[in-house]
Structure 1
Amino acid sequence: MDAKDLATFEAVARLGGMGRAARELNTVQSNVTQRVRRLEEALGVSLFERSRTGARLTPAGERLMPYATRVDALLDEAGRAARDDGAPRGTLTIGSLETTAALRLSPLLASYVHAHPGVDFVLRTGTTAEMVERVLGRELEGAFVCGPVVHPQLVAGPAFTEELALLSAPTEKTLAAALRRPDLRLVILRAGCSYRQRLEELLARRGVVGLRRLEFGTLEAILGAVAAGLGITLMPRALIGPAWRGGQIRAHRLPAAEAQVQTVFVRRRDMLPSSALLAFQKHVTKGQTK
């Protein structure tokens, strides 16, 4: 069993067929079939159930798949590490909460890219759960997520501190009045959003449970729904400055223990940070002290 055999196995499993894997690997199907058979012989198990429509993983193949994916990622990391001479260059892929990207990252990214023109920066956004999963899966070098994060495979460090506010339509003069509405609903992002979880916990402490939910895919849609009186949400106060000052939304202050939330930057503990990532983290820290 070698790395090429595992890479071939991973391609067949991911694409569902020997022919499709051969096209991706730029080789002939017989080479793919030979490598898979050699791997099966070395392990003493059948890895695929073959049919005229393709190849499907056996239970043994499903158990092997995570290791094949990990080896492929490690080989890619090894190549990047060997080529990394200390000068920030190459592709840097970072994840972030949508709120953090909107509030904090635009000026930092602009100055970072200007300072390090050899870096091709890629930013992915999503929920805390999505970003953590993608860091663990080595798809991202690191990500800004809602803290605290405690995981044996991750290193987490403080990045930003936000003040959260409960948002309602402008007609709700007080937080208590907003929570007394008989048709109250939560206006939230999809599952895995850390602010969604915090909102539900905040309301539960006040005896408000079992509310119906309205899920939206963007921050703009959530703010629009709240302004229209469809429900309440929880967001960083600074994010809704223009809407709040313009009277489109009412921002209700929360006790400090509930309002303060820390955004942390997470990366894999066993993954050597690239020079591009180290420069980015230094740039973020420097930007915070200005």
Structure 2
Amino acid sequence: MTFDQIRTFLWVARLGGFRRASERLNLSQPAVSTRIANLEQELRVTLFERGPGTLVLTKQGTLLLTYAEQMLFVEEEIKQHVANPSEAEGLFRIGASETVAQAWLPAFLQAFSGTYPRVNIDLTVDISGNLRSGLLNRQLDLAFLMGPISEFTVKNIALPRFDLHWYKSTNNSQTDLARIPVISYARQTRPYQELISELSHRIGPQVRVYSSASLSASLRMIAAGMAVGPYPRTLARDLLRTNEIEEFDPGFTPQPLEFTASYLGEPRSYLSETGAEMGREVALKWAVEQED
């Protein structure tokens, strides 16, 4: 019986299938199946009941899972407190919202790669709702998203917020929100829903609100005079620098965007824990630099 077999068993049990475990462990599906078969043969027990599209732990499998979780906890403690970070290996899957991606994410990736040079990074940039699903489905190890995620299995570390500012084209003097469309984040995001609620209350049902998952495209539409909208200043800096857009005050400002570094607490992952803390440190440093 090897530690790799125990680790493979844990992920098959956690994820409920050989294919998902193979993706998580960066192994082929036959390699995962072989490890489980060898483990069952050595222990002389059946660990999973296999059926059409289902995989259920047997009584012996449930008992082994308890021991496997304890072993993985000890392994993570050793990695975090004893092992040399530069020797860590494997695949680390990071998800980030576009707001973070255009702000301090490059600095984080540089810091993370410098600390863990042998760890391969798989990066996903998406809306926070999809990142949340990816984290809960164990398709991501760490997510920088609009949070927190209210699930007992998830650990959330608060990150610096992003204040919103209203922008319009420098070539368009129209700022009446009842007459010019407003553009916001994607329809299924919290900023969009909060903005719709506020504008409907202030202006009425005649207000026109566009939505876009591409923040850079949204700001380009503002620069073209097609709409106005509230966005973090860091996303608008290039267009502000070229004097294509400018800030204005329509009489109210939406709530700031709250972000968290979120990861699953079980099974414990020292890369997720240290990555989340590193993300907070990088984001705080970036926020201070923006104020200078």
TM-score (norm 1): 0.65
Does the Cα contact within 8 Å between 1:199 and 1:233 map onto a contact in 2?
A: no
Shift of 1:192: 3.2
SS in 2 for 1:270: coil
1:96-175 equivalent positions in 2, closer than 5 A: 96-173=96-173, 175=175
**Residue type at the aligned position of 1:229:** G
Establish whether residue 186 from structure 1 lines up as the match of residue 186 from structure 2. Answer: no
CA distance in 2 between counterparts of 1:216 and 1:286 reads 28
SS in 2 for 1:158: strand
Change (3 A) 1:155 1:260: same
Shift of 1:256: 8.5
Change (3 A) 1:10 1:188: same
Shift of 1:228: 1.8
Shift of 1:11: 5.7
Does the Cα contact within 8 Å between 1:186 and 1:214 map onto a contact in 2?
A: yes
Q: 1:198-248, CA deviations, whole angstroms, 9 ceiling, x for partnerless residues? A: 332332342344655545453222222222233233321221012124232
Shift of 1:162: 1.0
**Residue type at the aligned position of 1:180:** R
Q: Which residue of structure 2 aligns with residue 222 of structure 1? A: 218
Q: Which residue of structure 1 aligns with residue 191 of structure 2? A: 195
Q: Which residue of structure 2 aligns with residue 87 of structure 1? A: 84
CA distance in 2 between counterparts of 1:145 and 1:214 reads 22
**Residue type at the aligned position of 1:200:** I
CA distance in 1 between counterparts of 2:19 and 2:279 reads 41
Aligned pairs, number: 250
Gaps of 5+ in 1: 14-22, 33-38, 49-56, 65-70
SS in 1 for 2:221: helix
CA distance in 1 between counterparts of 2:211 and 2:77 reads 45
Percentage identity across paired residues of the two chains: 16
Shift of 1:279: 5.1
Q: Which residue of structure 2 aligns with residue 25 of structure 1? A: 30
CA RMSD of aligned residues (A): 4.5
Change (3 A) 1:164 1:266: same
**Residue type at the aligned position of 1:262:** E
Change (3 A) 1:199 1:280: same
Establish whether residue 236 from structure 1 lines up as the match of residue 232 from structure 2. Answer: yes
Q: 1:84-113, CA deviations, whole angstroms, 9 ceiling, x for partnerless residues? A: 464332222221111111111112221331
Change (3 A) 1:229 1:113: same
Q: Which residue of structure 1 aligns with residue 256 of structure 2? A: 260
Shift of 1:178: 3.7
Does the Cα contact within 8 Å between 1:135 and 1:142 map onto a contact in 2?
A: yes
